[in-house]
Amino acid sequence: MAKRDIPEINAGSMADIAFLLLIFFLVTTTMDTDSGVFRKLPEIQPENTEAPPVKQKNIFEVSINRFDELLVEDEPAKVEDIRQLAIDFIDNGGGTYEGKTCDYCGGEKKESSSDHPGKAIIAVQTAQTTSYGMYISVQNELLAAYTELRNRYAKKYLTGKYQGLSYTDLLNIQKADKENADVKAALTQIKKAYPEILSDAEPIK
Amino acid sequence: MSKFGKKKKDVPAVNTAALPDIVFMLLFFFMVATTMRETTLQIKPPKLPSATEVKKLEHKSLVSTIYVGKSKNASAGKGDKIQLNDKISGVNDVTNFIYSERDKHDAEEQKAMVTSIKADVKTNVGTVSDIKHELRTINALKISYSSGTGDVSNNFK
């Protein structure tokens, strides 16, 4: 029998099939990467736990009422002001914590403000109908205050490999290399200097 | 004139042999860069707040998302609605939702699970606070307030 050529497969409709698949994926998938403001909620305390004694001057009160108006330490304020007010409060360093004064603080060391970043508590009080957007804005400003202080501390006091880097830089390094113990140690040091103590009160009904 | 008439030729067909390659390339790009849409929104798509201190959520499978916003159809009533999976639920269902999400992972991964709250800027803080309370009772403490990157002043417009 004569040897015949195998006929070539018609690939003309391949593009159509690929287009079909492409459109299917375009319709059924999303591209948004989820990002957000990270918080860790406090654990529920047993009923009869007594609150630890905290001096009034170590609490920075931020209240948002149901009209989204702000009251910071009993003074009306704007969202843009919160960051600086929080920094002044945390960084005051007027007293001692675990027997030590805050030698890295740059604050005014006022008697009326916080003793030490380790003791400084920021409490946010909202109303039931405060808008979520306002609440997030305030949270964001407070977190930004901590980031700013941590950046400053890292640049000034980190020694060795990471000298001169900021806290944000270190976080970026950690993102790329999760197992790096040196970065972890440096970050722990920074977080110990300026621990994030944010408290959310139950909204007023 | 007839000289010009003779010159008339067919326009050669454009070679489309490379077209499938191009389309496949696009296809693979979308397959890799996107994720499957998991839920159909029963609430109006929430307008997320903007913030500057945002972190990206990694490991999509470890994220459980809770949507909060106004209902799409008017019959469900006014007020903030909570959507879990594909339906609008009450705040008491949050615990069961988290438990079912946890069941999908082993003990080691469960520690890294994050709850992402996608709430509209106009939501009441009270609603979000109720969800947070439910999450605390079952020790789902890692949360992320889903928000876009941008200046906070966008939140009041």
Give domain limits for chain B.
50-156
Of A43, A132, A136, the CB nearest to B139: A43
Answer whether residue A165 is part of any domain. yes
The answer to whether residues A137 and A79 touch, using CB atoms and an 8 Å cutoff, is yes
Q: Which fold has domain B50-156?
A: Nucleotidyltransferase; domain 5 (3.30.420)
B32-64 pLDDT per residue, tens: 877 776 677 788 888 888 888 888 887 777 888
- The partner residue sitting opposite A41, judged by closest CB among B17, B119, B136, is B136
Full residue range of the structural domain in which residue A148 is found? 60-200
Residue A72 domain flag: yes
φ/ψ of B112, rounded to 5, equals: -90, 5
A46 three-state secondary structure: coil
Cα–Cα distance for residue pair B64/B55, rounded to 1 Å: 16
Q: Sorting pLDDT into bands at 50, 70 and 90, what band is B2?
A: low
**Is A29 inside any structural domain?**
no
Give the mutation candidate from A137, A141, A150, A187 for the B interface (greatest B CB count, under 10 A): A137
Percent of chain A at pLDDT > 90 equals 0
Asked, for residue A9, whether it belongs to a domain, the answer is no
Burial class (CB in 10 A: 0-12, 13-18, 19+), A150: buried
Cβ contacts of A14 on chain B, cutoff 8 Å: 20
CA distance A118 to chain B (A): 21
pLDDT given at position A32: 66
User: Is A42 inside a domain boundary?
Assistant: no
The answer to whether residue A159 sits within a structural domain is yes
CA B100 from chain center: how many Å?
Answer: 19
Asked if A128 lies within 8 A of B120 by C-beta distance, the reply is no
Closest by CA to A149, choosing from A89, A205, A99, is: A89
pLDDT reported for residue A1: 58
Q: Tell me the chain A residues in contact with residue B120 when contact means C-beta distances shorter than 8 Å.
A: 132
Is residue A49 a part of any domain in this protein? no
- For residue B33, give the H/E element and its range: helix B19-33
The alpha carbon of B60 is separated from its chain's Cα centroid by a whole number of angstroms, namely 10
Number of domains in chain A: 1
Helix (H) or strand (E) holding B128: helix B125-137
pLDDT at B8: 60
Query: Using a CB-CB distance cutoff of 8 angstroms, which residues of chain A are in contact with residue B139?
Result: 43
Which tokens is B113 given?
């699970």
Closest approach of chain B CAs to the CA of A93, in angstroms?
A: 25
Phi-psi region of B59 (alpha: psi -120 to 50; beta: other; left: phi over 0): left
Distance from CA of B75 to the nearest CA of A (A): 23
pLDDT tens sequence across A88-122: 888 887 777 777 777 788 777 777 888 888 888 88
**How far apart (Å, rounded) are the C-alpha atoms in residues B72 and A7?**
57
Position B104, amino acid: K
Cα-Cα-Cα-Cα dihedral sign, residues B57, B59, B63, B67:
positive
Determine, for residues B116 and A25 on separate chains, whether the beta-carbon distance falls below 8 Å: no
B141:A41 CB<8 A = yes
For A136, which of B35, B51, B60 is closest by C-beta distance? Answer: B51
* Each residue's pLDDT tens digit, A16-38: 888 888 888 888 877 767 788 88
Contact A136 B120 (CB under 8 A): no
Q: What is the pTM of this model?
A: 0.79
Q: Percent of chain B, pLDDT > 70?
A: 92
B73 vs B48: CA distance, rounded Å:
20
* Residue A99, CA distances (Å) to A41, A95, A115, A190, B105 in order: 29, 9, 11, 19, 45
Q: Which of B124, B142, B157 to mutate to test the interface with A (most CBs of A within 10 A)?
A: B124
> Dihedral (C-alpha) B133, B137, B142, B146: value to the nearest 10 degrees?
-30
Helix (H) or strand (E) holding B35: strand B35-36
Residues 6+ apart with CB under 8 A from A162: A154, A170, A182, A183, A186
Would you list the DSSP string of B89-148?
Answer: E-TTHHHHHHHHHHHTS-HHHHTT-EEEEEE-TTSBHHHHHHHHHHHHHTT--EEEEE-E
| Cβ <8 Å between B125 and A126 | yes
Tell me, yes or no, whether A30 lies in a domain.
Answer: no
